[in-house]
């Protein structure tokens, strides 16, 4: 039995310790918004926050998570009200949408660390793959979310 | 959308309990005619129902096409809502299950592809909306004792100048008692309220909360998890495996032999993956184990030499050039998957597919059940791009589900996806062009060689016609797109040249291929537009002016060329930057693109911006339309720059995103999209942005360096960004 802290809740999971956190979230806990894309940490579809840091979970054994606070897309906000989600709504960023949970989590982590990122900050931080080519709206969305955050502070 | 909403059974059960209001449908085969309208409990009528107006005013529209990011859920709903004058906020949508009532009007099977969802439903769905509106208005007019023509509608409310007004909900029951109009009048474009506006996408909220249901998210009670390993060498078979070792792994339920591989079923995906490793499959590589990309290129080159058997006419100037583009993979981010539940008398599927028809055909073949008894429920698609026109993974899921008592979700790894795709085929073309004294091509002779997938498309989707030698009769419908004059291809060579002659050879190359976003237009858009650029330079003329002269009789080509020239400031690039132009028509849509590039001090290529001018007729939703062109440009650009599938030892060398390097955010240039204002019926938009990209970039490279790139990708020439 392993104890995990997911979206503010403590839960016990009975899985092999080498199981990647991705599959524990999706299948054991039932939080399917974090998605599987490549299984090698290359695409970022599986990105969640571990103690606020964007982390790719398809290659992270659940036994390595320890007591870190896990935040998934479901835990980012209850009503799409996180500034990144607001900006994504304004700009209609998603196309197929499959990568967007990971994109949003990566963008939220970037903004938490760097509230007013430059284009080159965004270039460096946003390495998630989008096969639909939503990149320009993702970039605009991050700038927009930065302004939304500024306004609420 | 919850899983239960995906069930066709539940959809059919809408009737008795929830039939209040107006339920309205239209057959898919009687094009543009409306039938079977009134509220009824007869199942057949419910099967045709596309639109339900409930007594509370809520409206449910069943979207006939699958949503893979191209925005059809929103765009097709806009067509209906426009003609209804419905309150946009009261409309809910569900995805159509497998049923001939939802066939693609152009293909007569239930498939989403070829960039035609909006164009093929343009009249049909507006008539559906218009019929609903007419019946609701008539119901109101009868109640008030006025003429229907005196009433107006806005926001789901019917009004009369006397001050009377009633909502759709209050009128729905009465409307359901009326006969539908045979041919309801449609709005003219100047009357549109929704069409032409950037209406927010209906799918955005679920796609940013994590709540949208993709195939991989389907979860059914007692569901098991399967994963597969297929022969890495095309045409190979399984030779041996260690079943005992795999079955000894925790949670493993079943090992199932597939046509060219094995599947492991377990109680979790991770356990299935680990057991697959323990299965230690050995493959018999079969007859293709020594085939490779270099050999395929030599085959294509040899085909080109056939042209030497005929004399090349004398001319003021002659061009004799060959172009080639490689195999490409699709790689939608959601790996191939399908959930299946099979009993001796039933087969239910939940699957992200562009091709519900093909899924049903595959499931019928495996189960022996009649095709119409296969239940196919479609989820959101985590990308399609043509890969999900195939039903190979559906066949596997049904094969596995037959062997267990529970529903099974079969999911591929990325590596399986990369190595068992249906690739854009490797293609080579040779042009022999004779230019007259004024630089005009007096003769343009094209030869093109490529493997083809057309016979397979027929065999997979129309097995009853698989005996027909379709390929021998028609050649390949895609291969000559934009290059030839063949009657099977819809986009003939546009330039006014003296004598046009085209020949082709279908090559036998043992690598699966299929439809890849913009199909062979991705190649013909490249080689035709680079070759015409070569002609312009040989003639000493500006590439834009040269094209304009040869397209003088083609107003829509001229329209996009002139618009892109204006927006890109053609001929006046910023210092140190260079421009390249390309124009191509595909799926009925005209697209001109200008790439603006430079070279950095270290020799690396910089792509600053791609300016696009698009004539797709009426733009239904400009925001979605722009995003589709954006996406297609990114797609075309990564395939220009570095994407390439290569074959060694009969197998694909690439395995994941580290060696099939798609474009990332930091590499994406500015993309500007401009639409030609038009009242013409809409044409395709998901794909047409892709074909011009490669030539726009390589023509800009020529402008910068004098170096002509004739084979893709650019990494083969030591060029990278």
Please answer yes or no on whether A94 and B201 come within 8 Å at the CB atom. Answer: yes
State the alpha helices, DSSP H only, in chain A.
21-23, 73-76, 83-91, 100-113, 119-125, 135-152
Q: Please identify among residues 275-314 of chain B the ones whose CB lies closer than 8 Å to any CB of chain A.
A: none
A47 and A105 in a single domain? The answer is no
Compute the distance between CA of residue B591 and CA of residue B7 in angstroms, rounded to an integer: 40
Out of A16, A45, A76, a domain closes at: A76
A101 and A72 in a single domain? The answer is no
Cβ–Cβ < 8 Å for B447, B527: no
Does the pLDDT value for residue B13 go beyond 80? no
Q: For residue B713, say if its preceding peptide bond is cis, omega within 30 degrees of 0.
A: yes
pLDDT > 70: percent of chain B? 92
Please answer yes or no on whether B70 and A97 come within 8 Å at the CB atom. Answer: no
Average pLDDT score, chain B: 91
Compute the distance between CA of residue B644 and CA of residue B418 in angstroms, rounded to an integer: 11
Q: What is the pLDDT of residue B599?
A: 98
What stretch of H or E contains B546? helix B543-550
* pLDDT tens digit sequence for B401-415: 999 999 999 999 999
Q: Residue A45: which of B211, B269, B333 has the nearest Cβ?
A: B333
A88 and A147 in a single domain? The answer is yes
What CATH number is attached to the domain comprising A111? 1.10.150.120
* Chain A residues lying within 8 Å of B381, measured CB to CB: 96
Q: What is the pLDDT of residue B437?
A: 95
| φ, ψ of residue B488 in degrees (nearest 5) | -85, -10
A92 and A68 in a single domain? The answer is no
A141 and A87 in a single domain? The answer is yes
Compute the distance between CA of residue B164 and CA of residue B145 in angstroms, rounded to an integer: 11
What count of CB pairs under 8 Å joins A to B? 175
Q: Please identify among residues 322-361 of chain B the ones whose CB lies closer than 8 Å to any CB of chain A.
A: 331-335
Compute the distance between CA of residue B529 and CA of residue B526 in angstroms, rounded to an integer: 6
Does the pLDDT value for residue B43 go beyond 70? no
Cβ–Cβ < 8 Å for B57, B90: yes
Q: What is the pLDDT of residue B487?
A: 56
DSSP label at residue B260? S
Question: Residue range B486-494: average pLDDT?
Answer: 72
Question: Residue range B106-126: average pLDDT?
Answer: 93
Domains of chain B plus CATH, in order, are 3-209 (3.30.365.10), 215-286+345-411 (3.30.365.10), 427-717 (3.30.365.10)
* pLDDT tens digit sequence for A27-36: 999 999 999 9
Which three-class secondary structure state does DSSP give residue B646? coil
Q: Residue B664: which of A72, A95, A127 has the nearest Cβ?
A: A127
Q: What is the pLDDT of residue B462?
A: 87
**CA dist B202 to B69, B102, B351, B586, Å?**
11, 20, 21, 27
Question: Residue range B575-599: average pLDDT?
Answer: 97
Q: Which of the four pLDDT bands, split at 50, 70 and 90, describes residue B489?
A: low
Please answer yes or no on whether B665 and A127 come within 8 Å at the CB atom. Answer: yes
Q: What is the pLDDT of residue B335?
A: 98
A13 and A58 in a single domain? The answer is yes
Q: Does A63 touch chain B (CB under 8 A)?
A: no
Strands (E), B494-617: 499-506, 578-586, 589-599, 605-615
Out of A76, A99, A127, a domain closes at: A76
Q: What is the pLDDT of residue B537?
A: 98
Cβ–Cβ < 8 Å for B253, B404: yes
Q: Which of the four pLDDT bands, split at 50, 70 and 90, describes residue A153?
A: low
* pLDDT tens digit sequence for B245-266: 999 999 999 999 999 999 999 9
Considering B170-184, B475-489, B575-589, the range whose residues carry the highest mean pLDDT is B575-589
Q: Does A45 touch chain B (CB under 8 A)?
A: yes
A102 and A145 in a single domain? The answer is yes
Out of A76, A93, A115, a domain closes at: A76
ipTM: 0.98
* pLDDT tens digit sequence for A78-98: 999 999 999 999 999 999 999
Cβ–Cβ < 8 Å for B233, B288: yes
Q: What is the pLDDT of residue A129?
A: 98
Q: What is the pLDDT of residue B602?
A: 95
Domain count, chain A: 2
Residue of B nearest to A26 (CA): B217
Domain, as residue range, for A99: 83-152
A99 and A138 in a single domain? The answer is yes
**DSSP result, B275-322:** HHHHT--EEE-GGGTT--HHHHHHHHHHHHGGGGGSPPPP-SEEEEEE
What number of other Cβ atoms are within 10 A of residue A147's Cβ? Answer: 12
A72 and A90 in a single domain? The answer is no
Sign of CA dihedral B145, B148, B151, B154: positive
A97 and A58 in a single domain? The answer is no
A23 and A49 in a single domain? The answer is yes
A92 and A125 in a single domain? The answer is yes
């Amino acid at each position: 039995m392993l104890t995990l802290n997911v979206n503010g809740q403590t839960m016990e999971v009975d899985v092999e310790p080498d199981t990647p956190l991705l599959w524990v979230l999706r299948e054991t806990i039932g939080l399917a918004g974090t998605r599987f894309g490549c299984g090698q940490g290359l695409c970022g579809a599986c990105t969640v926050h571990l103690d606020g840091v964007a982390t790719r979970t398809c290659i992270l054994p659940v036994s390595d998570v320890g007591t870190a606070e896990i935040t998934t897309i479901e835990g980012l906000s209850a009503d799409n009200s996180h500034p990144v989600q607001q900006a994504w709504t304004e700009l209609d960023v998603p196309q197929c949408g499959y990568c967007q949970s990971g994109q949003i989590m990566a963008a939220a982590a970037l903004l938490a660390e760097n509230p007013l990122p430059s284009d080159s900050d965004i270039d460096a931080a946003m390495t998630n793959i989008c096969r639909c080519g939503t990149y320009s709206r993702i970039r605009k969305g991050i700038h927009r979310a930065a302004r939304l955050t500024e306004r609420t502070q | 959308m919850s899983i239960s909403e995906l069930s066709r059974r539940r959809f059919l059960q809408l009737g008795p309990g929830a039939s209040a209001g107006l339920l309205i449908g239209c057959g898919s085969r009687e094009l543009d005619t409306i039938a079977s309208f009134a509220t009824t409990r007869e199942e057949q009528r419910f099967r045709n129902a596309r639109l339900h107006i409930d007594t509370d005013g809520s409206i449910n529209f069943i979207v006939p096409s699958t949503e893979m990011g191209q925005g059809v859920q929103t765009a097709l709903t806009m067509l209906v809502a426009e003609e209804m004058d419905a309150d946009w906020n009261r409309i809910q949508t569900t995805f159509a299950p497998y049923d001939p009532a939802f066939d693609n009007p152009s293909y007569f099977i239930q498939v989403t592809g070829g960039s035609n969802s909006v164009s093929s439903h343009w009249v049909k769905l507006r008539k559906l909306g218009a019929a609903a509106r007419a019946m609701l208005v008539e119901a109101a007019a009868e109640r008030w004792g006025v003429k229907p023509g005196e009433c107006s509608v806005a926001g789901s409310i019917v009004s009369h100048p006397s001050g009377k007004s009633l909502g759709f909900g209050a009128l729905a029951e009465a409307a359901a008692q009326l006969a539908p109009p045979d041919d309801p009048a449609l709005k003219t474009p100047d009357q549109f309220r929704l069409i032409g506006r950037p209406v927010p996408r209906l799918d955005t909220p679920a796609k940013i909360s994590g709540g949208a249901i993709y195939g991989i998210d389907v979860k059914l009670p007692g569901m098991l998890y399967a994963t597969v390993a297929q022969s890495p060498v095309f045409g190979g078979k399984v030779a041996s495996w260690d079943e005992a070792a795999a079955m000894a792994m925790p949670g493993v339920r079943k090992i199932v032999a597939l046509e060219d591989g094995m599947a492991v079923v377990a109680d979790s995906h991770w356990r299935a993956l680990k057991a697959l490793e323990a299965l230690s499959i050995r493959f018999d590589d079969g007859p293709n184990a020594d085939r490779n990309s270099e050999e395929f290129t030599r085959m294509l080159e040899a085909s080109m030499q056939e042209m030497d058997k005929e004399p090349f006419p004398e001319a003021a100037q002659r061009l004799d050039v060959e172009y080639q583009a490689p195999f490409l993979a699709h790689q939608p981010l959601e790996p191939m998957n399908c959930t299946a539940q099979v009993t001796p008398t039933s087969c239910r599927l939940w699957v992200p597919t562009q091709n519900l028809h093909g899924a049903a055909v595959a499931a019928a073949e495996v189960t022996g059940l009649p095709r119409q008894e296969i239940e196919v429920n479609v989820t959101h698609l985590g990308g399609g791009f043509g890969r999900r026109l195939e039903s190979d993974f559906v066949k596997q899921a049904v094969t596995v589900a037959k062997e267990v008592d529970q529903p099974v979700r079969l999911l591929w790894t990325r590596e399986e996806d990369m190595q068992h795709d249906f690739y854009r085929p490797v293609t080579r073309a040779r042009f022999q062009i004779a230019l007259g004294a004024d630089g005009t091509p007096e003769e343009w002779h094209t030869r093109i060689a490529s493997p083809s997938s057309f016979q397979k498309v027929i065999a997979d989707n129309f097995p009853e016609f698989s005996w027909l030698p379709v390929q021998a009769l028609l050649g390949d419908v895609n291969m000559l797109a934009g290059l030839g004059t063949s009657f099977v291809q819809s986009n003939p060579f546009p330039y006014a040249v003296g004598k046009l002659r085209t020949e082709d050879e279908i090559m036998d190359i043992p690598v699966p291929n299929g439809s890849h976003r913009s199909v062979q237009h991705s190649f013909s858009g490249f080689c035709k537009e680079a070759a015409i650029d070569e002609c312009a330079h040989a003639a000493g003329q500006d590439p834009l002016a040269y094209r304009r002269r040869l397209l003088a009789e083609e107003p829509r080509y001229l329209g996009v060329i002139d618009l892109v020239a204006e927006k890109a400031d053609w001929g006046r690039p910023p210092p140190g930057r260079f421009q390249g132009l390309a124009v191509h028509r595909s799926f009925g849509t005209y697209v001109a693109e200008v790439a603006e590039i430079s070279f950095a001090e270290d020799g690396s290529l910089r792509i600053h911006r791609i300016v696009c001018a698009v004539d797709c007729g009426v733009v239904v939703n400009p925001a979605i339309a722009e995003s589709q062109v954006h996406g297609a440009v990114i797609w075309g650009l990564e395939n220009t720059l570095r994407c390439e599938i290569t074959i060694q030892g009969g197998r694909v060398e690439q395995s994941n995103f580290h060696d099939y390097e798609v474009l990332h955010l930091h590499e994406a240039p500015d993309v500007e999209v401009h639409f030609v204002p038009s009242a013409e019926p809409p044409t395709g938009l998901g794909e047409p942005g892709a074909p011009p990209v490669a030539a726009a970039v390589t023509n800009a490279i020529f402008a910068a360096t004098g170096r002509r790139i004739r084979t893709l990708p650019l990494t083969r020439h030591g060029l990278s960004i």
